[in-house]
Structure 1
Amino acid sequence: MNDSHTTWTAVDTYFNNLLLPADQYLDVALSDAAEAGMPMHNVSPSQGQLIALLMRMHQSKSVLEIGTLGGYSTIWIARALPEGGRVISLEIDPTRAEVARKSIARAGLDNKVEIITGAAVDTLPTLAAKGYAPFDFIFIDADKPSNPIYLEWALKLSRAGTVIFADNVVRNGAVTNADSDDANVKGVQQFTELIAKETRLSATAIQTVGEKGYDGFILAIVQS
């Protein structure tokens, strides 16, 4: 860990201690995910709160999450929903989905969440037929090589005004490397280039530093 990362983590800790009180349900969700051997790819507390605040500002009632992992971000999202709101979360791994379901139920949010198991590239096409779309808010946080496909489906499952939030797009700065052979980097690059060409979207990218290291997200809104 370098000095910069130590500083970023300390700053996150400072603000989290003041603005985000300890939460047993979120803490246990993280510990259960770790115990199940999941990678710690969850959003940080400050990022979870950012998503929740954006949802509340936007008054999002119907949310699509691509990538459940252990349910940590799903809890943040479900808590930000108004009465009658619902989040549909897609997870490829049945074991991870089951761990997430238990954490979400423990937090008393299972009535607001449905986790659909299977590869998102296979389950996304079924959502409109099931009457879930259009979504008000779409959070993309799964395998990066598939991000271009996720964008295609996000647009199909959206409406004018839908917010699209895609995490982990900076890749510790590697996103600028045109010669990268990293599939994750290439997926993000293709994803970003598609957004740039998409006339229906207005978007920006924000770089972030903190306990999760150096990364960032893309925030977009569907204009038509």
Structure 2
Amino acid sequence: MGEGWQAVDDYIAGKLLGADDALATTLANNEKQGLPPIDVSAVQGKMLFLLAQIAGARRILEIGTLGGYSTIWLARALPDGGELVTLELEAHHARVARENLERAGQAGKVDIRVGPAADSLAAMTGEAPFDFVFIDADKQNNAHYVEEAIRLGRPGTTIIVDNVVREGGVLDADSDDERVIGTRALFDMVSGNPRLDATAVQTVGAKKWDGFVLARVR
């Protein structure tokens, strides 16, 4: 079945996305530099692009840069004068992302901040609110990241949290996997937060069986 999921993703990408030299070069450079191949798929990247445009985002926050593949998709969605702040733990990943963003012509829109995301978020005070937040980092802290997204957002801010199904692992209340524990804590936090309207969508494709939370700040 996994091969079929990949084939359908390839079909969708071929029909609706087409070739993209900048993104292909980004993935090749990520592999060359030893980054893990955990970027969003091409069709998911285009979804992020469209959702950010639908939200009318002028300021975007991304938690988890890796090599900047999703960052490029999101930066492309910004209008002239828009800004994307992206948080990355690893200095090496951030260097690779800067190379990729420069090559893709998006570096001028993006502010990469290096260090633990919780620390970078705590230091963010007095900034203009973000219109769109994409969270794709350490799953153990997802609930905290959503709380910070609410604090740094505004009524109407869109929040996307990736990798929340984990091939069904989210159903295992007895799991000792910290990523599953963190994901279940995320669902508990979102379901009990009066400031959020939210749903989650399961996905299958190049990234196997997973899904994302889609939320809007009230």
Q: With structure 2 as the length reference, what TM-score do the two structures score?
A: 0.98
Counterpart AA for 1:127: M
Aligned residues: 218
After the TM superposition, which residues 111-190 of structure 1 pair with which residues of structure 2 at under 5 Å, given as runs? 111-129=108-126, 131=127, 133-190=128-185
In the aligned structure 2, how far is the partner of 1:32 from the partner of 1:190? 35
Counterpart AA for 1:48: G
Q: Does 1:46 align with 2:43?
A: yes
Query: Helix, strand or coil for the counterpart of 1:210?
Result: coil
Counterpart AA for 1:194: M
In the aligned structure 2, how far is the partner of 1:93 from the partner of 1:194? 27
After the TM superposition, which residues 77-116 of structure 1 pair with which residues of structure 2 at under 5 Å, given as runs? 77-116=74-113
Q: Report the Cα offset of residue 38 of structure 1.
A: 1.2
Counterpart AA for 2:28: S
Q: Report the Cα offset of residue 181 of structure 1.
A: 0.5
In the aligned structure 2, how far is the partner of 1:36 from the partner of 1:184? 25
Which of 9, 14, 20 does residue 12 from structure 1 map onto? 9
Q: Report the Cα offset of residue 128 of structure 1.
A: 2.1
Counterpart AA for 1:24: D
Q: Percent identity?
A: 48
Structure 2: tracts of 5 or more residues without a match: none
RMSD: 0.7
Deviations 1:93-141 (A, max 9, x none): 0000000001001111111001000000110012224x2x410000000
Alignment correspondent of 1:209: 204
Alignment correspondent of 1:35: 32
Q: Following TM superposition, where does structure 1 have runs of at least 4 consecutive aligned residues deviating by more than 4 angstroms?
A: none
Structure 1: tracts of 5 or more residues without a match: none
Q: Does 1:21 align with 2:18?
A: yes
Q: With structure 1 as the length reference, what TM-score do the two structures score?
A: 0.96
In the aligned structure 2, how far is the partner of 1:37 from the partner of 1:103? 14
